[in-house]
């Protein structure tokens, strides 16, 4: 808490002295992202909102929107998470942005919780088109398969399951694939 207050005071000092500086954008976002990483979702949400409202560059606003979506998701505010994640995705200028895969994945999870399986499937498919680590790839694919099962689209679910490259799977993931196969 003390670190957070001191960090916030530093950023506020920067804002007062250099309101047009790019460093202030980055410092504000860094503080909000560190707060999010620390699990202080409400505090991070307030910081991201402030950055977003200060109308810095479009890339800064995009990062803030992503942060707001993540905070809302972690706090269980699904409609707001969907709104912010969708906005962050729409604002992303570079198709290779590393956050896009995660944003689509979180959006898909939001849609599953809202029982909107069709939209969840679209979000998961979009996530699969982005750069993902092996673990992220498996999580997204498994979520997409579960969504297809919920939609009673068993053939599509099985085709997705069969398309997972085995070398990308850990032993635990291989076991999960077998469990999913038995569910189908």
* DSSP three-state, residue 176: helix
Distance CA(179)–CA(184), nearest Å, equals 9
Claim: this prediction has a pTM higher than 0.75: no
pLDDT tens profile 95-120: 777 778 888 988 998 998 898 888 98
Q: Do 169 and 177 form a contact (C-beta atoms < 8 A)? A: yes
Least confident stretch, 21-30, 76-85, 154-163: 21-30
């Amino acid at each position: 808490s003390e670190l957070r207050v001191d960090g916030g005071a530093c950023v506020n000092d920067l804002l007062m002295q250099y309101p047009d500086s790019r460093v202030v954008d980055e410092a504000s976002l860094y503080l909000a992202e560190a707060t999010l990483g620390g699990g202080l979702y409400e505090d991070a949400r307030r910081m991201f909102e402030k950055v977003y409202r200060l109308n810095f560059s479009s890339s800064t606003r995009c990062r803030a929107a992503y942060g707001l979506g993540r905070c809302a998701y972690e706090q269980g505010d699904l409609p707001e998470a969907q709104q912010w994640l969708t906005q962050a995705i729409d604002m992303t200028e570079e198709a290779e942005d590393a956050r896009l895969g995660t944003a689509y994945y979180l959006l898909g999870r939001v849609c599953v919780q809202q029982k909107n399986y069709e939209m969840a499937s679209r979000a998961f498919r979009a996530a699969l088109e982005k750069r993902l680590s092996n673990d992220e790839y498996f999580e997204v694919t498994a979520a997409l398969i579960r969504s297809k099962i919920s939609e009673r689209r068993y053939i599509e679910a099985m085709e997705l399951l069969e398309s997972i490259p085995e070398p990308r799977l850990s032993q635990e993931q291989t076991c999960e694939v077998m469990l999913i196969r038995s569910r189908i």
